[in-house]
Amino acid sequence: MKKSTRMSTGAGVIVLGALVAATPRFLFPVCEFSGIFMQLGNGKTAYMLCHYTAVASYILGALIVLIGITLMLSRERESRRMLSVVLAGVAVAVTITPVILPICMNPDDPCNHGAKPLLIVLGIVTFLLAGWMGLASRKTNTVYSSSTPDESDCVKSDPTASRV
Look at residue 27 and tell me whether its pLDDT is greater than 80. Answer: yes
* DSSP calls for 110-143: HIIIIIHHHHHHHHHHHHHHHHHHHHHTSPPPPP
> Model's pTM, two decimal places?
0.80
The reported pLDDT for the residue numbered 138 is 80
* 30-39, 82-91, 100-109, 153-162, range with greatest mean pLDDT: 82-91
pLDDT digits (tens, 9 = 90+) for 111-149: 888 999 999 999 999 999 999 999 988 876 555 555 555
* DSSP calls for 15-81: HHHHHHHHIIIIIS--GGGGT--EEPTTS-EE--THHHHHHHHHHHHHHHHHHHHHHHH---HHHHH
3-state SS class at 84: helix
